[in-house]
Amino acid sequence: MTESVETSGSRRAKQRAMMIAVDQTGEATLSELAELLKTAGVATVGEVLQRRSEPDPDRYLGRGKLEEVKEDIKRAGANLVACDDELAPRQERNLEAALGVPVIDRTAIILDIFADHAHTAEGKLQVELAQLQYNMARMRGLWTHLERLGAGIGTRGPGESQIETDRRLARDRISDLRRKLRHVEQNRGVMRSRRQDSSLPQVALAGYTNAGKSTLLNALTGAGIGVADRLFHTLDPTTRAFEYEGRRYLITDTVGFIKKLPHQVVEAFKATLEETVLADLILHVVDASAGEEKMLEEMAAADAVLDEIGAGEKPRMLVLNKIDLLDEEERAEVRINHPDAVQVSAMTGQGLERLRAEMERAFEETMAPVELLVPYTEGSRLHELHEVAGKVDREDGPEGVLVRTRLPLGEMHRFADLVTN
């Protein structure tokens, strides 16, 4: 376990949560919520699931169920209730009043984890923006939050109520954060457009948190980015290059997805998630050791986020990771269920060669064969061709170099003047 997990664990280890959820089928499992709580350093001591078509608008659970939860809290010694959905401020207040312990919702837990895991300036700004927007509706803990930033007592205008002052401060801080983020984004925009100009194929890793995206990036590129068995370890995008058959590829790892990813997070991380939208190919990484049912759920969660960020129509390849944890029989079963997927183990390196070849094939499909004559006076264009085409056959002739290769259809126009066929 990494240091920061331990820190957050010991900080909140005394928190013992009773989990609650409302579900139409009554069959939902709260394992994901438990996993989130564990990552946030909170122990779980029980769960109450209510089967009903919709949460109660005032109290989330029905009255009868509330009594049951109250009993369970006492019996299990819980000092916190964690709800699997985002709660309306009213539901949260009423639940706390009825149950007599603090109530946190899924969004607050996810935001807490993000706050713990954010390391870069951009990540921290994004998380603070998401938290502030979430708190705006609740005004809980906002005061201390802003005080820390030096905007506390003394800045209050005469006659204003505390809540109005809080709101005004929060709004000011939100525009301040937006401005700072725009600035950071501009810098990244410059790097990104440099990458796009390079016309190298761009691949983005996407998928459920903890699926092994960062491990896969490391395995493909030799990068040394952080990996951990906890949710939302990666928040900041990292791009690295790797070479296969003479062609260079750029591959980006970003924030992982989860079911019901809070919209504040998606909004705040828009710039980060854009890396995925701009890629030519998305590798959808799935933990194949999770079992078919969980895999399908996690795939659906990733699909939903990809749709939400506008990457739903992008060419995609399904990569089933962690197959080292499956036996032969299980692998065969996974192959039957997902015949188009590439099975890999980012940990042992199994299947990575096939993955590289499949990526190449995906890009090859968008390429056409050409023959070009590059005059000796235009040596720099040969270099450019190499960059775009990867492998080229070349033959020195009297007027220049005769090149046979395949070019991406979208790049063909750049070399139109050299084409001989």
Ligand X SMILES: Nc1nc2c(ncn2[C@@H]2O[C@H](COP(=O)(O)OP(=O)(O)OP(=O)(O)O)[C@@H](O)[C@H]2O)c(=O)[nH]1
Interaction site with Mg ion (CB under 5 A): 214, 233-234
Q: Which does 345 bind (CB under 5 to 8 A by kind): ligand X, Mg ion, none?
A: ligand X
Element (H, E) at 83: strand 80-83
In whole angstroms, how close is the CB of 185 to ligand X at the nearest point? 21
Q: Which residue is nearest to ligand X (CB)?
A: 256
Q: Does 115 bind ligand X (CB under 6 A)?
A: no
CB under 8 Å to 14, separation ≥6 — which residues?
Answer: 79
In whole angstroms, how close is the CB of 227 to Mg ion at the nearest point? 7
**Of 177, 171, 152, nearest in space to 162 by CA:** 152
In whole angstroms, how close is the CB of 214 to Mg ion at the nearest point? 3
Provide DSSP, 153-164.
TT-PPTT--HHH
| CA pair distance 322, 271, nearest whole angstrom | 29
| CA pair distance 328, 356, nearest whole angstrom | 23
* Single residue of 55, 237, 256, 262 touching ligand X by CB under 6 A: 256
In the bound state with ligand X, the residue whose beta carbon lies nearer, of 145 and 213, is 213
In whole angstroms, how close is the CB of 285 to Mg ion at the nearest point? 10
Q: Does 232 bind ligand X (CB under 6 A)?
A: yes
Q: Does 284 bind ligand X (CB under 6 A)?
A: no
The length of the chain, given as a count of residues: 421
Distance, CA of 383 to chain centre: 36
Q: Which does 347 bind (CB under 5 to 8 A by kind): ligand X, Mg ion, none?
A: ligand X
**Residue 244: what are its φ and ψ, rounded to 5°?**
-145, 130
* Single residue of 173, 192, 247, 322 touching ligand X by CB under 6 A: 322
Q: Does 228 bind ligand X (CB under 6 A)?
A: yes
In whole angstroms, how close is the CB of 188 to Mg ion at the nearest point? 18
* Single residue of 8, 107, 234, 264 touching ligand X by CB under 6 A: 234
**Of 310, 247, 321, nearest in space to 283 by CA:** 321
Q: Are the CB atoms for 370 and 405 separated by under 8 Å? A: yes
* Single residue of 16, 106, 233, 284 touching ligand X by CB under 6 A: 233
Q: Are the CB atoms for 284 and 321 separated by under 8 Å? A: no
**Of 74, 78, 12, 80, nearest in space to 45 by CA:** 78
In the bound state with Mg ion, the residue whose beta carbon lies nearer, of 49 and 283, is 283
Give the footprint of ligand X on this chain (CB under 6 A): 209-215, 227-229, 231-234, 256, 321-322, 324-325, 345-347
